[in-house]
Amino acid sequence: MTKYVVRRVAQAIPVLFGISIAVYAILLAAPGGPTARFAQNPRMTLEQKEAFKKSWGLDQPIPIQYCRWVGACNPDKGGTILGILPEPAAFLGPNGWPNFLPGALSGARNGVFHGDFGFSIDSGEAVADRITRAALPTFILASFALVIWLSIAIVVGVTAAVRRYSWFDQAATIFAYVGFAMPTFWLGIMLIFLFSGPGLNILPAGGMTETRASPPFGGSEYWAYFGGHPIAAILDIGRHLILPVITLVVVNIAGDSRFVRASMLEALGQDYVRTAKAKGLSNRSVTFKHALRNAMLPVLTNIGLEIPFLFTGALVTETIFSWPGVGKLTIDATRGFDYPVLMGVLLITAILVVLANLLADLAYAFVDPRIKY
């Protein structure tokens, strides 16, 4: 198992390196850019625009900008080769060791290798701080939605497979087709109209807290309020969670329940299941001990792909309900041409995808005893 994990981690390094290059190149080729917000501003002189580019390192060649962003180059050494590539001395940190090594050895603090994703062009705040602050609301929303929809999807999928062509299976099929075809933004808007409109008006339409009763979520004032009124604060967040969680659950149950059903049907048709039935084992034992464990293998793969994108922000859902998470942060950064924030979010998403797939592969050995690493 240990050798397998080490090998997979080693294989992930070039993959993440390639993804970082792709992310940087795509955002570089995107229209606009960090200077787009004041490109046509007549009140900014050419000298001010050039000073802005220099302060953010935008006056350097693209390879040097990328090298500094990942933390392989020392930003204090600006020599170049052919005016494009960084000089060899730029790869050494302040202590004389390679710049990408931990700060205790190299003395470097810049770049992704050292946890520095740069600074937001919009607010001037560290990108890592902005993402960290938005991660908790996304984690809360994603955790509740994930547990609910996976529990329901597995129960519905297994029941539909065991009772194939029954009325329950037919109803689950209709729900899946309707739910899967239902646009997320439309469902969110309809839920707001039904439960937050002039009719019922029983649930909040957006946000994470009732700002008239408590400070905005995440700040020091909020945590002071939370410490003094924990029950009221939890209930307030719970009320704001209902609509976005329902939106995520309905859309994702539709696809995952069909996935579980198809995988379960394939497992129920295997020889070992027929053998277990012939030996006189109960239907419950055959279904849950023999068939379900093997049917979960492709389901785990699917979950491994869903979790990273869910925890890095349900873009549409968070935007509709003004949920202050990573999804909304991504949309706001896109609108404001805040490329450092976008690059940080995309790179973290890629890392989570690699880690989630590794965890899914490791979970195979616990679900199916036939798999050994």
Q: DSSP states of 7-56 as a string?
A: HHHHHHHHHHHHHHHHHHHHHHHSSS-TTGGGTT-TTS-HHHHHHHHHHT
User: By percentage, how much of the chain surpasses pLDDT 90?
Assistant: 9
Question: pLDDT-based confidence at 219, cuts 50/70/90?
Answer: confident
pLDDT value, residue 244:
92
Residue 12 Cα distances to 17, 264, 270, 353, angstroms: 8, 31, 35, 10
Between 65 and 308, whose confidence is greater? 65
- Given a cut of 80, is residue 246 above it in pLDDT? yes
Between 337 and 135, whose confidence is greater? 135
Domain 127-367 in CATH 3.40.366.30? The answer is no
- Given a cut of 80, is residue 29 above it in pLDDT? no
Question: pLDDT-based confidence at 167, cuts 50/70/90?
Answer: very high
- Given a cut of 70, is residue 114 above it in pLDDT? yes
CA 283/CA 272 separation, integer angstroms: 14
Between 51 and 204, whose confidence is greater? 204
Model pTM?
Answer: 0.82
Question: pLDDT-based confidence at 286, cuts 50/70/90?
Answer: confident
As given in the structure block, the two tokens for residue 41 are: 């501003």
Neighbour tally for 165: CB within 10 Å: 9
Asked which of 156-170, 206-220, 236-250 is least confident by mean pLDDT, the reply is 206-220
- Given a cut of 90, is residue 168 above it in pLDDT? yes
Asked which of 24-33, 167-176, 177-186 is least confident by mean pLDDT, the reply is 24-33
- Given a cut of 70, is residue 41 above it in pLDDT? no
CB 250 within 8 A of CB 187: yes
CA atoms within 13 A on the CB side of 29: 5
pLDDT value, residue 316:
84
DSSP for 206-219, written as a single string = SSSS-TTTSPPTTS
- Given a cut of 90, is residue 46 above it in pLDDT? no
Question: pLDDT-based confidence at 33, cuts 50/70/90?
Answer: low
Between 236 and 9, whose confidence is greater? 236
pLDDT value, residue 239:
92
* Mean pLDDT of all residues in 166-188: 88
Asked which of 12-16, 340-344, 349-353, 357-361 is least confident by mean pLDDT, the reply is 357-361
- Given a cut of 80, is residue 275 above it in pLDDT? yes
Residue 285 Cα distances to 66, 148, 279, 288, angstroms: 56, 25, 12, 6
Between 121 and 189, whose confidence is greater? 189
DSSP for 25-38, written as a single string = HHHHHSSS-TTGGG
In eight-state DSSP terms, residue 95 is T
CB 300 within 8 A of CB 367: yes
Domain boundaries, the chain: 37-117, 127-367
Type of residue at 292: L
Could you give the angle at the alpha carbon of 273 between the alpha carbons of 267 and 275, nearest 5°? 155
Between 166 and 33, whose confidence is greater? 166
pLDDT value, residue 42:
65
- Given a cut of 70, is residue 143 above it in pLDDT? yes
pLDDT value, residue 210:
87
pLDDT value, residue 37:
62
- Given a cut of 90, is residue 181 above it in pLDDT? no
SS3 for 360? Answer: helix
- Given a cut of 80, is residue 230 above it in pLDDT? yes
- Given a cut of 90, is residue 242 above it in pLDDT? yes
